[in-house]
Amino acid sequence: MQYFEVHFDFSRMVSNRTVSGKTVYLVNLPKGTDVIMEKPDNELQKIKKENFETTDLTLQRSNALIGAKYNASLLENKLVAIGIARWQKAMRNHALKNKTGDILVKLSPNEINSLVDRKKNIYRDLKDISKSIMGRLVLIDKNDGSGEFHYFTMITDCYFKNGWYCMKFNGSVKDYIYDLERKGDFTIDRLATLVNLSNNNTYRIYEILHRNLYQCNSKVHGGVVKVEYGLAEFKFMIGVADTEEKAVKKVIDSAKGDIDWDYILDNVATHKKYNDWYEFKRKALIPAQKEIKEKTDLSFEFEGVSTVGKRVRKLIFYIQRNTPKSETIIANEEKKKIINNEILSKNDEDVIVLEDQEEDVFDTSFINENTLCKKYVGHNSLTKANINLFLKLAGNDEKLVETAIRKADQQKRIENYVAWINECIKANGYPDVPISVENGSSETANTMDRINKEMHSEDFKKKMWQRIREKDDFKEFLEKNGVDELTFNLVYETYDSKVEAYTQWRIMQMKNNII
């Protein structure tokens, strides 16, 4: 049997346990590897990988992606990290080998809740966060004088369906998380460490600085590595200034060489925080410094450097390896257990490749093109936009729309055909008296604006929702989504969101019936 001497690094410790009255420290090593480990009291203890309780899950990302500039919340960052970890697990298991296209990652709310420690209603949080995470622009710039940069959207769609929270990743993200061993210039982060951080500035600062931790060598400069950033650029990196701001994006797009981040922050950006150096130091850097030292494998010191007059323009970090507090090690171990149960044990079928957008479950064009649109577009000059508006007004009730169109055709004289159909739908297809619409067809746009305003009134939405609740398939709708009505109402608080959820479910039902 072959033995190896291991110089123990507490930051890589997985767990500890008592065996025969002695404390045994466990580290991540290949399965079956025998280790002789020197304990703090210089006592030797032989252990095997088979005794390890948990497996650590990591995510690999290119340093360019980690250092990208974007503005996101802590929950957004954690959701993306969990999604990428699930995606990479499927790739490692060859479930997505040689496949291209957008990636749909399915996460259970319980999984998310247990990993991010949300004490609030996770369903409500997910609904709110989806509004901001979808379409979030990420900027990667080479900053090498070439002027080259890449703006892209990481998450293109989010929704809650059949008990799953689904995120659709832009397929181009794969360039920054796949085949990195061959490409080089990447960093491996432990998911348990990332989800255990409680402040968004801390989260981003840790990610960015962790890229340089591999350079720390105890034999060189006492294990300390010096890293410099322009203060303005660093603020855009951690999201306290926003590259999505229209004026900022315009200046970046027109840059012919390296981007002047000082100029943009001082003269262009308006969506920014901590303008004063001492405020940034007190509210961002010092809290991050404390939490990172307590919870992660690195620690840092920092200093601001004045390059123009007395104004700080440069930020210098001094990074070194660190052993987190014992309670953090225990907390991370608990996270690893959750990860083991919620991610590592999950079937890779929860990660789906959407080649040619085949699986876009909210694509309403399918049903519109194959039913009412095919039948009625062009009929009395009706357009696809008209039909879609009718459907939305009718709660996606095709029969009601068709009834209204037929009744409109039976009228002797209608000055505004589209508006008449809308009014008929609002009357549920059975008006007590013939509907008359004032103003001629030249006023169609004004009439449609008025109808749109009425459609967005709370009273109208409430009536529409009550009508949906009375439908025969309402109970089936709840069952298919894996919730009762109380839970559904917690997730979807407004009548508008309730109607939208039911409408999209009906579209999928019709699509499946046609197929």
Question: 39-76 burial, b for 16+ CB within 10 Å, e for fewer?
Answer: eeeeeeeebeeeebebebbbbbbbbebbbbbbbbbbbb
Residue 230 pairs in a beta bridge with 314
What are the CA-CA distances from residue 279 to residues 283, 285, 313, 492 (Å)? 6, 9, 14, 38
The C-alpha angle 419, 422, 423, rounded to 5 degrees, equals 90
* Beta-sheet pairing, 137-141 with 149-153: antiparallel
Residue 180's pLDDT is what? 85
DSSP code for 511: H
- CA-CA-CA-CA dihedral for 327, 7, 207, 98, to nearest 10: -120
pLDDT at 40 over 80: no
Residue 404 sits at φ, ψ, to 5 deg, of -65, -40
297-310 confidence digits (pLDDT tens): 999 999 999 976 78
Go through 349-388 and write b for each residue having 16 or more CB atoms within 10 A of its CB, e for each that does not: ebbbbbeeeeebbebbeebbeebbbeebbeeeebeeebbe
Please tell me the number of Cα atoms within 13 Å of 496 on its side-chain side.
5
Summarize pLDDT for 210-261 with one digit per residue, the tens.
999 999 988 888 899 999 999 999 999 999 999 988 889 888 888 877 789 9
Q: How far apart are CA 101 and CA 192, in angstroms?
A: 28
Inter-residue contact 39 to 71 (CB < 8 Å): no
Read off the DSSP letter of residue 179. Answer: S
State residue 276's pLDDT score: 92
Name the residue among 301, 232, 234, 304 with its Cα closest to residue 269: 232
How large a percentage of the chain has pLDDT more than 70? 70
- Please report which helix (H) or strand (E) contains residue 104, including its range: strand 102-107
Element (H, E) at 110: helix 109-116
The arithmetic mean of pLDDT across residues 335-362, rounded, is 57
Give yes or no for a contact between 485 and 454, defined as CB atoms under 8 angstroms apart.
Answer: no
| H and E: helices and strands count for the chain | 23, 16
Q: Is the dihedral of CA 295, 296, 301, 307 positive or negative?
A: negative
Q: Give me the helices (H) in 427-480, please.
A: 444-455, 458-469, 474-480
Backbone angles phi, psi at 163, to 5 degrees: 85, 5
Q: How far is CA 358 from the centre of its chain?
A: 21
- For residue 195, pLDDT beyond 60: yes
- 245 pairs with which residues across the strands? none
- Match 């690893």 to its residue by tokens: 336
pLDDT tens for each residue of 265-296 = 999 999 899 999 999 999 999 999 999 999 99
